[in-house]
Structure formats: C-alpha cells, structure tokens
Amino acid sequence: MRYAENGDFSTYHLAMDGRLPHQVLHQTVRQSVFHVLHKPLPNSRVARYVNYALALLILSNCAAVALETVPSINQTHQSLLFWLEAISTSVFVVEYMARLWVCVEQTRLSHPVFGRVRYVFQPLPLLDFIVIATYFAPVDLRFLRIFRLTRLLRVLHLDSFDYSMQRVGRAIGQRKHLLVMSVALMLIAVYCLAALLFMVEHSVQPDKFSSIPETLWWAVVTLTTIGYGDITPITPLGKLLAGAGAIFGIGIFALPTAVMTAAILDAGTDAEANCPHCGHRLDS
C-alpha cells in the first residue's frame, strides 16, 4: 500500500503499489528535506530560514578564521573560536549527509547507489566535501568555505542570474580559441622579454638578472604594468627594452579582457532576444 501526498502533508490518500506506510513516510520526509536543501520552494519559509541560517554560519565561520590570525583576539577568545569551528563543522557534516540522502529525488540521480556517486563528484558537492575536509587537513584551508556562499543562488531564487551566468558561459565557450590565442601571446611576450633582459642586464646585475627563470618575475610585473621596482634595468638598452615591453604589454595583456567583455555584451544582447524561461528566440 502507498499513501500519496494530497498537497498539505496533513492527510494522505490510500493507493495500491505494494509499499508499507513507513516506506511512504520515509520518502515523504526525504522529499521535504530535498525541497529545503536542494530545490527550495518559492513560498517555503522553512527552506528560506534554514538556508539563510547556513549562509550566516558560513559567514561567521569565515570571520572566525580571519580573527584567529589576530594574536590578541586568538589569545583571549581561543575557546569561543574553537567551539564555533567545531559546531560549524558538525553542522556542515550533517548538511552534507542530508544532501547526499535526498539527492536521489532528482530524476537523473534516482539510482540509490550510482546516483549518489554521481552527485558526490559534482562541483558543489565536491566543494562541500572539501569544506568539511579542511577541518582535518594539516594545512589550514578553511578560508575555502567562503565559496559555499554560491549556495545563495538557490536560496534567493536568482533564476535570472543563474540563466545569465549560463549565457555568459556559452558565449565565452564560443570564443575559447581567441582566449587560448591571447594567453599564448602573453606567454610568448613574457618569455621573450625575460630572455632579452637577461642577455642585456646579466653582465651588469648578475644578482638580480641571474637567470631567465628569475627574470620571468620581472617580465610579468612589467608587461602587466604593475612594476614593483624591486628589479630594474640600468643599462640604456635594458631601459629601452623595458619601456617597449611595458607599452607592448598594455595591448597584449588587454586581449583576454577584450574577449571576455565582448562575450558578456553578446550574452546580454542575445539574452534580450530569448525567452528567459525556455531559451527560444522571441522573434521566431
């Protein structure tokens, strides 16, 4: 026997499919948790409050990680920071297990074993696992927990934002060859400038331009027009090459930015001509 939901979770209609009442209750609870964690319903206050509480916990945890690096605060509030970290990690573990339990409510992940395995290796679940693992890692990587705020996209129901990000991603994908070419030109420019300056400046500044790999740092900060000033050429030819490299770098290193800007503009224009719900062109 099966008890089918009638819409308000208060009463259930009897249906015949061979399942016992406790099995129906198990699935009903799982569906409810799914609509809290994975796909919040627009009018669900429980889902909104739970996800906002998780977001607040993430922000508090990231603030605590930063405050731990302040010696005076760490010494006076060490116990408080420790318990905040322990409680946060415990909540994250429970949340991760709950998400793993209810993920099979999605059609593409409906298999009880392989569906959960597929879910674990998706980007956001992987991020959730890394967040938990940082508590036990020998290297302090807890700052990565800030990336969990991407969950707010589901909390705030920013479907239009999610749709726009997909449009931008597709537009950038269409220009991947231009991006690859731009990066290749940047690498060539950095290597050539480093090799030229090494040839010119090594004889007069062997401690600063000691090798081409060491000079690559100078080439990067010069071509990106940052110019820290820790390494500078002193020969006339070296200064000429450095000046030409700085001017040349403005154009070369601006290419990826130009490609990305064009992709974003095209995505916005294309989005205006398409339905935000189905993606079909409005003029078709």
**pLDDT, tens only, 238-257:** 999 989 988 888 888 888 88
- The percentage of residues in the chain with a pLDDT greater than 70, rounded to a whole number, is 80
pLDDT single digits (tens) 159-171: 566 667 777 778 8
Nearest Cα to 34, choosing from 94, 98, 93? 98
Domain boundaries, the chain: 2-157, 158-284
Q: Are 242 and 233 in contact (CB under 8 A)?
A: yes
Q: Return d(Cα 103, Cα 119) in angstroms, integer.
A: 7
Q: For position 153, what pLDDT does the model report?
A: 63
Q: What band does 9 get if pLDDT is binned at 50, 70 and 90? A: very low
Interacting residues of 255 by C-beta distance below 8 A, sequence separation 6+: 178, 182, 185, 186
Task: Report the largest interatomic distance among the alpha carbons of the chain, rounded to a whole angstrom.
Answer: 91
Query: Which architecture does CATH list for 158-284?
Result: Orthogonal Bundle (1.10)
Q: Return d(Cα 31, Cα 38) in angstroms, integer.
A: 10
Q: For position 275, what pLDDT does the model report?
A: 57
CATH of domain 2-157: 1.20.120.350
For the whole prediction, is pTM greater than 0.75? no
More reliable by pLDDT, 98 or 10: 98
Q: For position 278, what pLDDT does the model report?
A: 56
Q: Return d(Cα 89, Cα 137) in angstroms, integer.
A: 13
Quote the distance between the C-alpha of residue 30 and its chain's center: 27
33-37, 70-74, 209-213, 250-254: least confidently modelled range: 33-37
